Structure 1
């Protein structure tokens, strides 16, 4: 996502808007009151900001006075505001990413494989010559079809992590750990790679292209 870090929305720096998106993309809903309290706004100012987030497609309404972060809002949540990169650097990062996909799918230590990749955003544009990041939607699937064997393998990975000193902040983090390490290796700490779940961009109207398989 290409965005100027000096951007202001309703008097609020885009960085603070990004932080709000990061916080409320999970569990995935917020209200007008959430906005007014988070940004310390009056109700009219909060309503104005909410309207701007809706118009900018960073959020969408799901129920009366209930809203959620959109695909575009999730992309904003992942913006690092790092220096932009040229085509050569972007290609190098992308090629390294695809190499790690092959590594994960071939390595038996990972119990998830990358099953699908969809590219969207500025990197898909052949006319672009500089980029803020590379947006990639991913799908994962079990390498082990048998549920019992998969569960046992998952527990071994978690137990080994705990033995190595890993401390989980919640049961959800613990359960998701086997898939989280796949995503961590895919990203490789690169601020230029933005990962999204395939199911979150299925309704994406912007140009996109399946690149794997």
Structure 2
């Protein structure tokens, strides 16, 4: 989820709302907390609370006995992870996509990596007529090169010198490594699971496809 730095709700920057929801975590959000965290009076806090409820960022807390207690909704939790970056032009987006596809070709040519890319689909605002975009949504089909990719991933993780948090991260190191190469730390490239496009029923365009498995 990406949000403009200047985007507001009820006169409050969404960046501050994000900080409020992060502070609340999965806990209850009361009017007093909105007032305290946003440094506003009760009347302003009520306006913000109603706006957040209407926009779907918060919802009634089902575990609270009172009616004026809320928690972050699914959309609110997405906002907690939002990136606040400037929007990019269509030309900039095209350049990012071209560079991304070049990295796909380079990755597929590097046999030492555990995974390769079979297909890339773009969806969301990029395939629409918008003059500017918040990000570029890409669904990538990663395929292991060899049946030994799990063992190779563990070896590459050890060679990297990085601290691996758990066993799942260890055995998926190879695919995550390829994903990081493709993303190239760009805040404007959102790499999604390949099946997400169908799950969302979203329109898409195929940018890259190879018959190799």
TM-score normalised by structure 1 residue count: 0.66
After superposition, give the CA deviation of every residue in 1:19-42 in whole Å (9 maximum; x if it has no partner).
799x8xxxxxxx9x53539x9459
Q: Distance in 1 between the 2:176 and 2:118 partners?
A: 15
Instruction: Show the counterpart of 1:138.
Output: 140
Q: Give yes or no for contact 2:2–2:85 (8 Å, CA) kept in 1.
A: no
Instruction: Pick closer, same or farther for the CA change 1:73–1:128 going to 2, 3 Å.
Output: farther
Q: Distance in 1 between the 2:78 and 2:191 partners?
A: 10
Query: Paired residues, what number?
Result: 188
Q: Distance in 1 between the 2:159 and 2:81 partners?
A: 31
Instruction: Show the counterpart of 1:15.
Output: 15
Instruction: Show the counterpart of 1:88.
Output: 91
After superposition, give the CA deviation of every residue in 1:187-209 in whole Å (9 maximum; x if it has no partner).
11112211221233323244322
Structure number with larger C-alpha Rg: 2
* 1:187 alignment partner, one of 183, 192, 205: 183
Q: How far 1:140 sits from its partner (Å)?
A: 1.4
Q: Give yes or no for contact 2:15–2:84 (8 Å, CA) kept in 1.
A: no
After superposition, give the CA deviation of every residue in 1:117-167 in whole Å (9 maximum; x if it has no partner).
221122212x332222211122212111x2xx22221221112112xxx22
TM-score normalised by structure 2 residue count: 0.66
Instruction: Show the counterpart of 2:108.
Output: 105
Instruction: Show the counterpart of 2:29.
Output: 36
Which secondary structure does the structure 2 equivalent of 1:90 belong to? helix
Structure 1 unaligned runs (5+)?
24-30
Q: Distance in 1 between the 2:145 and 2:82 partners?
A: 28
The aligned runs of 1:1-213 (5 Å cut-off) are: 3-9=3-9, 13-15=13-15, 34=27, 36=29, 40=33, 51-52=53-54, 54=56, 69=74, 77-82=81-86, 84-125=87-128, 127-144=129-146, 146=147, 149-162=148-161, 166-213=162-209
Which secondary structure does the structure 2 equivalent of 1:91 belong to? helix
Instruction: Pick closer, same or farther for the CA change 1:80–1:7 going to 2, 3 Å.
Output: closer
Q: How far 1:98 sits from its partner (Å)?
A: 0.4
Which secondary structure does the structure 2 equivalent of 1:36 belong to? coil
Q: How far 1:53 sits from its partner (Å)?
A: 5.7
After superposition, give the CA deviation of every residue in 1:40-81 in whole Å (9 maximum; x if it has no partner).
459xx8x96875464xxx799xxx8799847x9759845341
Q: Distance in 2 between the 1:208 and 1:12 partners?
A: 34
